[in-house]
Amino acid sequence: MVAYRETVTSSKIIYEGPIFSVETQDVDLYNGKKAKRDIVRHVPAIGVLAFVDDEHIILEKQWRATISDFILEIPAGKLDQRDFDEPHHAVERELNEELRMAAGSIEKALGFVETVGFSDAYMHLYVARNLTPIEQDQQLPRDLGETMDLVTMSFSEVKSLFDSGKLIDQKTVTAFLYWNHLRG
């Protein structure tokens, strides 16, 4: 089967906020028909698989208004003007803000488009090891309203959540699958 490219005939930003914007497009399809597309344009982000040791990672349990519930997820954050060209700087910042830790080692694992069906949101996944606490006077402020419980979990505990369908955050599922890959 052959895939066909769409041609954008017009586009307009209908919402613009600090984290994302919404663009509506008119497109011509390969068969001569016309269609509309709504696209969420999101700033790139980072996620961190933060290892306590080879068998344990740190997850965050936090309230997410989008699902009206608490969720377990890896530390993550959006890139900003300070680090668009250096995503690992955002990793250092987020580890400080969220975990109150610094990493002795930070490595890029992979990158992925989070929700390609309607958004261009791209996430860089990093692995952080050799974590050490940050002194209180060196801690960066958390985002407004950001609260979380930090939870250290073993591979088998995270695998159990994955196997039972209780690990539902996409970046965290991807991080778990990468961790599983690392284990061979």
Each residue of 2-40: pLDDT tens digit? 788 999 999 999 999 988 999 999 999 999 999 999 999
Evaluate whether 105 touches 122 at the Cβ level (below 8 Å): no
Q: Strand order in 7-16's β-sheet?
A: 7-16, 20-28, 34-42
pLDDT for the residue 140:
85
pLDDT for the residue 141:
82
What letters, b where the CB count within 10 A reaches 16 and e where it falls short, cover 45-61?
bbbbbbbeeeeebbbbe
Please report how many Cα atoms fall inside a 13 Å half-sphere around the Cα of residue 1, on the Cβ side: 2
* Full pLDDT tens readout for the chain, 184 residues: 778 899 999 999 999 998 899 999 999 999 999 999 999 999 999 999 999 999 999 999 999 999 999 999 999 999 988 877 889 999 999 999 999 999 999 999 999 999 999 999 999 999 999 999 999 999 888 777 777 899 999 999 999 999 999 999 999 999 999 999 999 8
pLDDT for the residue 60:
96
Alpha-carbon distance 91 to 147, whole Å?
A: 18
pLDDT for the residue 18:
87
The dihedral built from the CA positions of residue 41, 35, 111 and 131, taken in this order, carries a sign that is positive
Q: pTM of the entire structure? A: 0.91
pLDDT for the residue 85:
83
H-helix or E-strand spanning residue 161: helix 155-163
Q: Are strands 45-53 and 122-133 parallel, antiparallel or unpaired?
A: parallel
Evaluate whether 80 touches 97 at the Cβ level (below 8 Å): no
